[in-house]
Amino acid sequence: MLFLCVTASADRCNSYVQEARRAHYKVFGLDYPYWYAVGQLRQESNCRDVISRDGVGSQGVAQITYRWWQGFLSKKGIDNISSIKNQLLAQAYIMQDAKIQAYSSHLWVAYQVYNGGSLVNKEITRARNELGIREIPHDIAKEYCKRKTITFNNGQKINACDINYEYSEKVYEYGQKYKLFSDGKYKFW
């Protein structure tokens, strides 16, 4: 039964591949590994155009909280995210902003900024200061993560470090299905 669910979500994601590619090429250029954007859609919403029950109003296939991003996206010509095309273009612009904020050239950091804000930069800085190296690997940065434990309504507890560091792992894993060529100048890890 699980296999059928995974296959159904993967098939659903196929319908967004070309539009995600166009949006990310427009924002990043023709050498951007857009398959990670599709992997991100799967991680965010299982490739469903939904309104989240996260309590903050995230919506669409990329789970964008428009009220937080409205000013930024309006400057990019996106006045709403009611269409898939606008959602995917918004995703690309927010990823561009995350990439600018990231303290590393590796994409895993930008995806974690997209998901959990720039706290990952503090973790990278702590690791850099202690280890004296510029590019901090994902697993090492996680060792320097100091975030709260979240308790959900059902009593389940999850450490926010685990949530955010798993995010980039899942984006990478899910994106591999749509990968057509090398990552080129964009290194994920």
Look at residues 104, 113, 85, 98 and name the one whose alpha carbon lies nearest to residue 26: 85
State residue 6 phi and psi, 5-degree precision: -65, -45
**DSSP per-residue codes, 57-118:** --BTTTTB-HHHHHHHHHHTT-----SHHHHHHHHHHHHHHHHHH-SSSSHHHHHHHHHHTT
Residue pLDDT, tens place only, 109-146: 999 999 988 899 999 999 999 999 989 999 999 999 99
Distances in Å between the Cα of 27 and the Cα atoms of 37, 63, 92, 126, 134 are 12, 19, 6, 31, 27
pLDDT at 54: 72
Residue 113 tokens read as 């900024």
pLDDT at 158: 87
**Domains, the chain, ranges and CATH?**
2-178 (1.10.530.10)
What secondary structure, in 3-state letters, does 135-178 show? CCCHHHHHHCCCCCEEECCCCCEEEHHHHHHHHHHHHHHHHHHH
Amino acid at 135: E
Inter-residue contact 120 to 132 (CB < 8 Å)? no
Q: Is the pLDDT reported for residue 169 higher than 90? A: yes
Residue pLDDT, tens place only, 6-56: 555 558 999 999 999 999 999 999 999 999 999 999 999 999 999 987 778
pTM (predicted TM-score): 0.89
Residue 51 Cα to chain centre, angstroms: 17
pLDDT at 3: 47
Say what percent of the chain tops pLDDT 70.
Answer: 95
d(C-alpha 31, C-alpha 155), whole Å:
44
Look at residues 77, 147, 86 and name the one whose alpha carbon lies nearest to residue 112: 147
Average pLDDT for 154-179: 94
Inter-residue contact 178 to 17 (CB < 8 Å)? yes
